[in-house]
Structure 1
Amino acid sequence: MVEWQIQEGIDGLVPMGSTGENTLVSDEERLQVIKTVIKTVNGRVPVIAGTGSLSTDGAVQLAREAKELGADACLVIAPPYVCASQRGLYEHFRRVASVGLPVMIYDNPGRAGVSLEPQTIAELAKVPGIAALKDATDSVTHAVDVMALCDLPVVCGADNLALPMMACGAVGVMSILSNVVPSRVLAITKAMEKGDIAAARKAHQANVSPKDEISSIVPALICFSCRFSW
């Protein structure tokens, strides 16, 4: 799977992100997956390890271990179920960033139950080690508000908003669909890099139905891969 993704031209890999089975495995199993991906990649593309946890202490420990394994960065969601205050969210990400591994904030209220306000993200952008934002709020307005307040790179976290969010300044997309058809997502990002809006629009429109089908089943990639042969 890792080799195939690299051969397809993917720009980076995120082992143990939300779309996989990170909530169904132990921390030891999660770290073993991260270790295996890092070893297989061998520096060819960046590896951003999914290290979100129900607790801040857990997220800190997972980030520390991912750093020791050689991850390039970590993807960290707000603690699910807790519904922390904005101040609590700030402290959560600040503590994870103190580990010394670049942190991509994962703002996904549908999974976490709470969203970071643009002003909170702007304050976090000043914290050493906070490297980027994955915006999965399903709101282009939210992403634009963040970009208006700070220079933190924003990555789209929703396939259905890849084109509009990139048109507004997002630097790319961290995609569900790219796990099974990376070339179709790359068609959007490469076209946008060239300024070919017509080609990007055509590629984006072609991806809506497959993305919806994948997202409708959980764990999405396992079930989808069992139903289809690629």
Structure 2
Amino acid sequence: MSIQLFDLTGKRALITGSSQGIGHALAGGLKAAGAEIVLNGRDAARLETARVELDARHALAFDVTDHAAARAAIDGFEAAHGAIDILVNNAGMQHRSPLEEFPADAFERLLRTNISSVFNVGQAVARHMIGRGAGKIINIASVQSALARPGIAPYTATKGAVANLTKGMATDWAKHGLQCNAIAPGYFETPLNAALVADPEFNSWLEKRTPAGRWGQVDELVGACIFLASAASTFVNGHVLYVDGGITVSL
């Protein structure tokens, strides 16, 4: 097998929620593999900072929870700059609360940010990919696609939906030459998990619960993303790839 299978030179990748955290790391990894990256976020100032940090040519500010805005941004970009060959649906949020006290507005925000965004951006990009007969869509799921913990039931529901929407995308779009897969990270040190990282009791639990005995580092997700974005995965479709230090396979 040639290493050229993983070369992304000449490809263009849009990464949603790429101003920080996992999206920022994946954007940098795809760029290092040769792809031209297009960053996305709602905060224009933070997005511009990330663009400079990653030396990216394009930063596309739009709200992934707004279906019309996502489609207008994608259609406009393709008309002006050309094809988006790879989409990483990374934008997401968390809200922790006992389920019996969970605010209804927070539940709705989780649905819009974690699952509606995958549909909105995925559909907008796929319409162009289908016309070209090729494309890669990578959705960011979670260990919570398969497991649950107290205080995050709605988040768990959204990530289960991301995994199943990924399967649905593959079922509908594989015949058009698209590969649609998901990466399911375990517990990684990110801004989203800052409160947990700072909690000694949670850290102790996590180290005992995870066979690898530690938090993941965001750069450890890059290899999986490059694999699913590249020619190395042309017959991989509807798959959820867990990158979790073994937490989902161990009691």
Please indicate, yes or no, whether the TM-score normalized by the shorter chain is above 0.5.
Answer: no
Select the structure with the greater relative contact order (CA < 8 A; seq sep ≥ 6).
Answer: 2
Shorter-chain TM-score bucket reads: 0.3 to 0.5
TM (normalized to structure 2)?
0.36
TM-score (norm 1): 0.39
